[in-house]
Structure 1
Amino acid sequence: MQYQEVSQKVYYSNKEYVPIGEIAHSLIAFESLIKQAPEVLEALFPDLTIINVEVFIKELRSDSIWEDLVIKLIFGNQQRFDECIDNVRQKLGIEKIMENHPNFLSAVLIAMILAGGAYYLGKSSAPDNKEAKETIEANNNTIIQIGAGMVDMTADEFTSIVISAIKDKEKLAKNSLNVVKPAKLDPNATISFNDDPNLKITSASIKAMPEYKSVSEQEEELVEDFHDVRLELRAIDLDSTKHGWAVVAPSLYKKRVKLQLDPTIKPSDLKNKLSTNGNITVVWGFDKKGNRIPKIIFLREIIN
């Protein structure tokens, strides 16, 4: 079995002690995120085939948090390993891969963490989320420039590969938010890699990262009011205010959604109408991919 070991030194600059449980959860999330990295590496280098990843702790210190990890990328037999090294050598040059591959992997991992945070925030259209997402993406632009420069790619090419290569983006988001969680205990904390000040998750990005919540936890909170929304009637039931109704609200969602009428609205008020405007309450849910979708719309008031 042939493998390549890559060291990753990760430093959280917290000034106060961090509970051991927070560190443990963060390490588990980081291991899980690292195990998603081969999807990105194989997309960056099509000749590369990584059959497994193992992560080991070489050293862990509690003054702030200092994690010295060894990542073992397992390639399989000697022939596959030699072919991989030859192909990557042709792309990068042997000097670059020998001197920079720890920092290159750092750039990939940081880009994944920041992309995961941006993805999670992008699932909601809340104004605060938009600003936080822009903060994280600004940090990621710097990291992407560094990573792209190491492999002679444009920033757009590197970004496209990193984002598209990850198959389970909900898992990436969960891992990313849990990796940075210990740093959120200190408003000024940063997370840096391999003693390189350029390979860093900034304190602004850490503040912008939300707490991860499962789909069930999010569903409990996602009830939202909207005013003067256009509704296209797709199904009606003049004998009921709760059943048999469906609408499309184009500004919110392109598919039909179950509609329920407020007790103050008579079904006959919508008779012979193809559309109407109204004040509504939306109960949001999530589809199998983790995307937020409206589950039911309550029509509170018709606006003529």
Structure 2
Amino acid sequence: MQYQEVSQRIYYSNKEYVPVGEIARSLIAFESLVKQAPEVLEALFPDAKVIDIEVFIKELRSDSIWEDLVVKLIFGNQQRFDECIENTRQKLGIEQIMNKNPNFLSAVLVAMILAGGAYYLGKSSTSSDKEAKATIEANNNTIIKIGAGMVDMSAEEFTNIVISAIKDKEKLAENSLNVVKPAKLDPNATITFNEDPHIKISNASVRAMPEYKSKPEIAEDVIEDFHDVRLEIRAIDLDSTKRGWAVVAPSLHKRRVKLQLDPTIKPMDLKNKLSINGHITGVWGADNQGIKVPKLIFLREILD
């Protein structure tokens, strides 16, 4: 195996002390984000094959927050490493991207962080989140131009590669927001990479980044009784009171849900009916977004 080490110095311009826990979480998130970087690097340089990537702390300083890190790119063998260097040389005309230009990796990582924040905000339709997303994307356009210029690509091509290469965008968003989180403790903070004032997460972007909210754990089912509810019948099974029945209860939810009949109700009582009113018991759960949805309806009594 062959490897290449690239230094990454990250400066949070906070003026006040930051809790150790916040720094630890941001470092763990940064490591996780870096481990997503090979997807982007291999898309940018198809001849490269990064089989592993490791992040080491070289130095931490408490005046504001200086994080001096080493990113270790591990290639499959010497041949593959040489191919990566050759491919890079073909794109750049120089060999410095791996050795003497660690700012290229910085540009990639910052572009990933900002893309992760924009992706997270893009899931919301509120006007404030749309404005925040636009702020972050404006910052990212600057970073993308820097990265694209280093590999002789158009900004559009570079953007498409970075965005499409990341498979787990939800994880990217989580990592991105947690990397930025310590800076949000200071209303004026920025985050600069490798002491390059151009490769920076601006204060506006820091403030625009939301707090990451993980998908809530699926709660236990909730059982509720409802009286005189109209049910629209979507499927029936006259041979069973438990299988093959489905309804929509418009006053409760637009979702089609499984229906079970109380033993006192005869299936023939519902034959040829498009809708009924009745007393029901609903079983509620949560979907993948943590939103309360009906899972099952018991029809207890049909009302005339």
TM-score normalised per structure 1: 0.74
**SS of match in other structure, 2:8:** strand
Q: Measure the CA separation in 2 of the matches of 1:46 and 1:246.
A: 51
**SS of match in other structure, 2:192:** strand
**SS of match in other structure, 1:215:** coil
Aligned partner of 2:234 in structure 1 is 235
Moved more, 48-57 or 85-94: 85-94
Q: Measure the CA separation in 2 of the matches of 1:114 and 1:107.
A: 11
Distance 1:45 1:216, change over 3 A: same
Contact 2:59–2:69, Cα closer than 8 Å, also in 1: yes
Q: In the TM superposition, what are the counterparts of 1:45-60 in structure 2 within 5 Å?
A: 45-60=45-60
Q: Measure the CA separation in 2 of the matches of 1:234 and 1:196.
A: 64
Aligned partner of 2:247 in structure 1 is 245
**SS of match in other structure, 1:11:** strand
Structure 2 unaligned spans of 5+: 220-231, 237-244, 258-272, 276-283, 295-304
How far off its partner does 1:131 sit? 1.2
Q: Measure the CA separation in 1 of the matches of 2:154 and 2:67.
A: 31
Q: 1:233-267 CA deviation, whole Å, 9 max, x = no partner?
A: 89389xxxxx943499xxxxxxx7347xxxxxxxx
Aligned partner of 2:93 in structure 1 is 93
Contact 1:123–1:292, Cα closer than 8 Å, also in 2: no
**SS of match in other structure, 2:124:** coil
Q: 1:85-141 CA deviation, whole Å, 9 max, x = no partner?
A: 122211222255267631111110001001111111111212221111111111111
Q: Measure the CA separation in 1 of the matches of 2:24 and 2:134.
A: 29
Aligned partner of 2:127 in structure 1 is 127
Q: 1:197-253 CA deviation, whole Å, 9 max, x = no partner?
A: 110001111111111111117x89xxxxxxxxxxxx89389xxxxx943499xxxxx
Aligned partner of 2:19 in structure 1 is 19
Moved more, 29-38 or 127-136: 127-136
Aligned partner of 2:77 in structure 1 is 77
Q: Measure the CA separation in 2 of the matches of 1:48 and 1:127.
A: 41
Structure 1 unaligned spans of 5+: 221-232, 238-242, 249-255, 260-270, 274-282, 297-304
Q: 1:164-183 CA deviation, whole Å, 9 max, x = no partner?
A: 10011111111001000000
Q: Measure the CA separation in 1 of the matches of 2:118 and 2:287.
A: 18
How far off its partner does 1:154 sit? 1.0
Distance 1:98 1:105, change over 3 A: closer
Contact 2:88–2:95, Cα closer than 8 Å, also in 1: no
The reply on whether 1:191 has 2:191 as its aligned counterpart is: yes
Aligned partner of 2:5 in structure 1 is 5
Q: Measure the CA separation in 1 of the matches of 2:37 and 2:99.
A: 20
**SS of match in other structure, 1:214:** coil
Q: Percent identity?
A: 73
Moved more, 185-194 or 146-155: 146-155
Aligned partner of 2:111 in structure 1 is 111
Q: Measure the CA separation in 2 of the matches of 1:207 and 1:284.
A: 35
Aligned partner of 1:62 in structure 2 is 62
Aligned partner of 2:205 in structure 1 is 205
Q: Measure the CA separation in 2 of the matches of 1:206 and 1:284.
A: 35
Q: Which amino acid aligns with 2:158?
A: F
How far off its partner does 1:285 sit? 6.0
Q: Which amino acid aligns with 2:174?
A: K
Contact 2:47–2:80, Cα closer than 8 Å, also in 1: no
Q: Measure the CA separation in 2 of the matches of 1:174 and 1:163.
A: 15
How far off its partner does 1:295 sit? 4.1
Q: Measure the CA separation in 1 of the matches of 2:292 and 2:157.
A: 34
**SS of match in other structure, 2:198:** strand
- The two structures, once aligned, show a CA RMSD in angstroms of 2.9
Aligned residues: 250
Distance 1:45 1:284, change over 3 A: farther
Which structure's CA Rg is the greater one? Answer: 2
**SS of match in other structure, 2:197:** strand
Aligned partner of 2:299 in structure 1 is none
Distance 1:286 1:112, change over 3 A: farther
**SS of match in other structure, 1:257:** coil
Distance 1:286 1:197, change over 3 A: farther
**SS of match in other structure, 1:15:** coil
Contact 1:6–1:71, Cα closer than 8 Å, also in 2: yes
Q: In the TM superposition, what are the counterparts of 1:120-269 in structure 2 within 5 Å?
A: 120-216=120-216, 235=234, 244-246=246-248, 257-258=255-256
Q: Measure the CA separation in 1 of the matches of 2:136 and 2:100.
A: 25
Contact 1:236–1:244, Cα closer than 8 Å, also in 2: yes
How far off its partner does 1:76 sit? 2.2
Distance 1:38 1:213, change over 3 A: same
Q: Which amino acid aligns with 1:52?
A: D
